[in-house]
């Protein structure tokens, strides 16, 4: 059984919940009191689960893996159907996906940091993070607009991949970081398309259009 060390409000944990849902994988959630408990920084967590004191962490029958992007690569490689679209077996597609997995980390360092500051009062260099957040959102918007002209709706191809899942949460949660998405129309259309994919699941701050 797969276990996910999880926090309901974490966009990084949500990435793995979303992929496991779309893959139809059963999993057990191990709730971690990120706020206010800071349980991810406890001695027990740092010594036994993740030395970096971060969420999410996957445990697949004793194979323990920290980092949301690493988790997406692992789960899609291990559990997607042969020929599946989440992490295609194609060198160029994987190169493009890796590019967006790196951008996803930029979104965590920028938009997630501002959101945690506004929500929980955690310290952050707001001006710098806002500027970096907008840089990443602009890059996503420009890319998606260009892809749209070529009849391609997703970040790394004609089908959604783990690149889309990795970048989705903190782009969709930008409003909670008080970043205005109105100047990113292609990005907004992509968020809409993600939310309307069959089998989509929500998280607080990202609404399920079916509900």
Ligand X SMILES: N[C@@H](CCC(=O)N[C@@H](CS)C(=O)NCC(=O)O)C(=O)O
Q: Is 55 in the site for ligand X (CB under 6 A)?
A: yes
CA angle 26, 165, 39 (to 5 degrees): 65
Sequence-separated (6 or more) residues with CB below 8 Å from residue 145: 185, 186
State the burial class of residue 191 (Cβ atoms within 10 Å of its Cβ: 0-12, 13-18, 19+).
buried
Q: How far is the CB of 94 from ligand X (least distance, A)?
A: 18
Here the tokens at position 107 are 């979104």
Out of 4, 5, 6, 10, which residue is the one contacting ligand X (CB under 6 A)?
10
Out of 65, 93, 99, 105, which residue is the one contacting ligand X (CB under 6 A)?
105
Q: Is 205 in the site for ligand X (CB under 6 A)?
A: no
Q: Is 115 in the site for ligand X (CB under 6 A)?
A: no
Report whether 47 contacts 205 (CB < 8 A): no
Nearer residue to ligand X within complex by CB, 36 or 198: 36
Nearer residue to ligand X within complex by CB, 105 or 159: 105
Q: How far is the CB of 184 from ligand X (least distance, A)?
A: 22
Nearer residue to ligand X within complex by CB, 29 or 196: 29
Nearer residue to ligand X within complex by CB, 19 or 55: 55
The distance of Cα 102 from the centroid of its chain, to the nearest Å, equals 11
The distance of Cα 48 from the centroid of its chain, to the nearest Å, equals 24
Q: Is 12 in the site for ligand X (CB under 6 A)?
A: yes
Q: Is 19 helix (H, G, I), strand (E, B) or coil?
A: helix
Distances (CA, A) of 90 to 86, 110, 118, 125: 11, 30, 41, 39
Q: Is 39 in the site for ligand X (CB under 6 A)?
A: no
Q: Is 67 in the site for ligand X (CB under 6 A)?
A: yes
Q: Is 114 in the site for ligand X (CB under 6 A)?
A: no
Q: Which residue is nearest to ligand X (CB)?
A: 54
Q: Is 103 in the site for ligand X (CB under 6 A)?
A: no
Report whether 179 contacts 127 (CB < 8 A): no
Helices (H) and strands (E) in the chain, counts: 8, 4
Stretch of 85-93, 104-112, 143-151, 175-183 contacting ligand X, by CB under 6 A: 104-112
Q: Would you tell me which residues interact with ligand X (CB under 6 A)?
A: 10, 12, 40, 53-56, 67-69, 105, 108, 112
């Amino acid at each position: 059984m797969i276990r996910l060390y999880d926090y309901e409000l974490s966009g990084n944990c949500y990435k793995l919940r979303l992929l496991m849902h779309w893959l139809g994988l059963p999993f057990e959630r191990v709730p971690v009191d990120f706020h206010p408990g800071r349980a991810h920084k406890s001695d027990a967590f740092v010594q036994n689960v993740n030395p970096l004191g971060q969420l999410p962490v996957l445990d697949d029958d004793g194979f323990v893996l920290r980092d949301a992007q690493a988790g997406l690569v692992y789960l899609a490689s291990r559990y997607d159907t042969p020929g599946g679209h989440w992490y295609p077996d194609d060198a160029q597609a994987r190169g493009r996906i890796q590019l967006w997995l790196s951008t996803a980390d930029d979104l965590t360092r920028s938009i997630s940091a501002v959101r945690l500051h506004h929500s929980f009062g955690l310290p952050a260099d707001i001006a710098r993070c806002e500027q970096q957040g907008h840089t990443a959102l602009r890059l996503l918007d420009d890319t998606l607009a260009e892809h749209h002209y070529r009849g391609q709706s997703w970040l790394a191809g004609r089908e959604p991949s783990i690149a889309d899942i990795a970048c989705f949460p903190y782009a969709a949660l930008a409003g909670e970081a008080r970043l205005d998405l109105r100047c990113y129309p292609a990005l907004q259309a992509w968020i809409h398309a993600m939310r309307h994919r069959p089998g989509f699941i929500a998280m607080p701050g990202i609404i399920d259009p079916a509900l």
